[in-house]
Amino acid sequence: MRLERERADTHEWARLYDDGIRQVYSYLRHRCGDEALAQDLTSETFLTAARTAATGGAVPSMAWLITVARNKLIDHLRRAAVEESALRVVSTTASDSIEPDGAMFERGRAMETLYRLAHQHRAVLTLRYLDGLSLAETARLLNRTEQAAQALLARAKAEFRQRYDPSREDAVDA
């Protein structure tokens, strides 16, 4: 009897995942406007669902998944607001140092490029490189797994490289 129930749950999970992945992703993508963020939050939603089921809970419904997705997005936006205020504090203290004119110009261009990035990209780059935190510490502060923080860091570095070119006058407007 137990084995039959486990097979039924596995089948339900597979069906829920197949049906739900697109709906949850679409829900999040439409609300946050960021493909990478929607992917991350979709993964977190299904991870939460798997953890719930692993603790003996029933296979969740689509409505439950959408509710979890909405909560994940709200949590993300709250964290982003906190990160944004922390970045303002870091930026005011970081710009107080005395540097040669050329270095100050490049640092200024780099900081301007940094501020033009998506807030989660600014946060991960600031924590990792300006604050000098390890990947594990960065992940913990961003409330992500190390793998998720590493993926976010890779996307952030790619966006920064795309926008920053010290030889171009219009580089920060890209």
Helices (H), 95-145: 101-115, 119-125, 135-141
Q: Given 1.10.3470, 1.10.1740, 3.40.50, 3.10.20, which CATH number is that of 2-75?
A: 1.10.1740
- pTM of the complete model: 0.48
What pLDDT does 154 receive?
A: 93
pLDDT digits (tens, 9 = 90+) for 32-43: 778 898 999 999
**In the chain, what are the domain boundaries?**
2-75, 97-173
Comparing 75 with 5, the larger pLDDT belongs to 75
What pLDDT does 63 receive?
A: 87
SS3 of residue 132 by DSSP: coil
Q: Given 1.10.110.30, 1.10.10.10, 3.80.30.20, 1.25.10.10, which CATH number is that of 97-173?
A: 1.10.10.10
Helices (H), 33-134: 35-54, 62-94, 101-115, 119-125
